[in-house]
Structure 1
């Protein structure tokens, strides 16, 4: 998060962003009711339950509302140096 951002959608915003934390909570659901039957820990997942492997947070442009992974905002800022 120590890199400049530039929104790849509106192409003008370099200063106003929202960081959206993604908190992972692995669960097992009842297939009929959708009720949570069990909350799991990351180290308790069975072989058929894939662990979450996405970034810990996403970035939202404060001007146009685009939500993407941080890398998109960083790479666009690197390409469009002022």
Structure 2
């Protein structure tokens, strides 16, 4: 963990929700939305790109802003407590 500061409300340094993201690669029926196939990393379809986004997102516990963890960490690093 590292210090965070909300870039939106600019005051919250202590109340956050850590959102752990776990992706599932699936192929769905375009009419029904039913899952037709679920892919694993070793058997991806050539037209299906694997998820490359962040594994954690942060939500400010004060204003509700949701951003990548690096956004909150960078804002804290640039606005250190005196």
Q: TM-score, normalised by structure 1?
A: 0.93
Which stretch shows the higher mean deviation, 32-41 or 45-54?
32-41
What does 1:18-37 correspond to in 2, within 5 Å? 18-37=17-36
- Partners in 2 of 1:42 and 1:26 — Cα distance? 8
- Partners in 2 of 1:17 and 1:31 — Cα distance? 37
What does 1:3-14 correspond to in 2, within 5 Å? 3-14=2-13
Gaps of 5+ in 1: none
- Partners in 1 of 2:32 and 2:13 — Cα distance? 45
- Partners in 1 of 2:26 and 2:43 — Cα distance? 11
Q: TM-score, normalised by structure 2?
A: 0.93
Deviations 1:18-59 (A, max 9, x none): 001111111111122221111111221111100100111100
RMSD of aligned alpha carbons: 0.9
Task: Indicate whether 1:78 and 2:67 are aligned.
Answer: no
Gaps of 5+ in 2: none
The count of corresponding residues between Structure 1 and Structure 2 is 81
Which stretch shows the higher mean deviation, 36-45 or 59-68?
36-45
